[in-house]
Structure 1
Amino acid sequence: MENINMEYIDDYIKSLIKNEDDKLEQFRKECEKRKLPIIHKEVGQFIKLIIKQINAKSIIEIGTNVGYSSIFMSHEMNNEGKVVTLERSEKFYNEAIENVKKFNLENNIKVHYGDAVDLLDTIDGTFDLAFIDAAKSYYGTFFDKCCKKMKSGAIVLSDNVLYQGMIANDDLVVRRKKTLVRNLRDYLKYISQDNRYITSVLPLGDGLAVTLIK
């Protein structure tokens, strides 16, 4: 089970999305063929909407993988803004660097190698948008560290927060995921009930939390 919605619903939503860049679409297909955990197409469409709505010019991303989402977000900023992205896997870090070069975005995307828990304390600048898609048990830590770097009225997007439906239904929880599920539930409760934030959890992809920093 990859998504939380019925497959026919996901397929229909995806069929409505217009592909605007052939090179980027080919990159997506290559990632999907390798079964890499890139953003779901419908999640990408929502991210595009947010970028345009808030006129984002600076984005920080936790979890680069091979760079698809960084390149996608840079593309949606018309390759004019900046993306700072953090990746702890050396293999994916090196792939991301090469992919950024293939899209000629070395001046727009800065990829950092290391654990985001530590790296976030070293990143300079402020950001309009944060995208969190890394180790699920550390979402709370990532969120708090990102918030210190966000501009007033910024948006934090947290991906895969419903985690194959386990977060909403105990019957789906497998034993080896119990700690992850508990941490994600605590995280969603935190960002939903703290008065400093306004959060909406959307059933897109594997669950997307959208948080406005007041």
Structure 2
Amino acid sequence: MKQRKPEMMRGAKANVPVATSAMAYGSVLGVLAAQKGLSWLDMMFMNTAVFAGAAQFVMVDMWSTHMPIFEMSLAVLVINLRYLLIGASLDPLFSGRGLLHKVGMMHLVADENWAVTMSEQRTGTATTWFLFGGGVFLYLAWSSGTLIGLLGGGFITRPEDYALDFAFTAVFTALAVGLWRGKNDVLPWIVAGAAALLAHKFLPGKWYIVAGGLAGAISAMLGPGEIEEVEEVEDVPSH
């Protein structure tokens, strides 16, 4: 216990810069949520149960009187598939830890405190409690931002006048730019875009999000990038 508190405090302090931007980002979500009629209890439940900014933007965008629960769940699942890779990258940090410890820590892993922890890991000073402390601080900052936006959103009757309705598009554009890895991504992105456009044209609701995500993922798994990597391995002479 003596080591947990200092590590959590160190993790929290290391995440101050990213938590500030998360609070601002969260306030935009809160404003959009206010336009959809979400209560502060709805917002806090979503923050606690989901705690994933991009996925929460999707949920708010899809929020309606007749809740599309199945579509919403699938869309959030596709968007959060990246946490499989994030979790895999943290495996050395969790080595020797029990299942409950891993589950409890991973729930508060976000892109921001993951990146800060991976940077700390390069110096060999990262711990799971450092990761957790950053996650707790981010959660508090994110929740504060969403509540500020939600409670103040009632005064903004036309969010489009302030370009807040563009936040959803801007968020995913920024995510896409950050995830771009080079020419091997060209084909999956084209396939994902084409599938999303076709689904938007022929399917009701938000199925285009799921269709685009699944098509892009399958294309990436089966595309030439994987073949090139195999060929490079086969070309290495044996010793």
TM over 0.5: no
Of structures 1 and 2, the larger Rg is shown by 2
Question: Structure 2 length as normaliser, TM-score?
Answer: 0.23
Q: Which has the higher helix share?
A: 2
Q: Which has the higher strand share?
A: 1
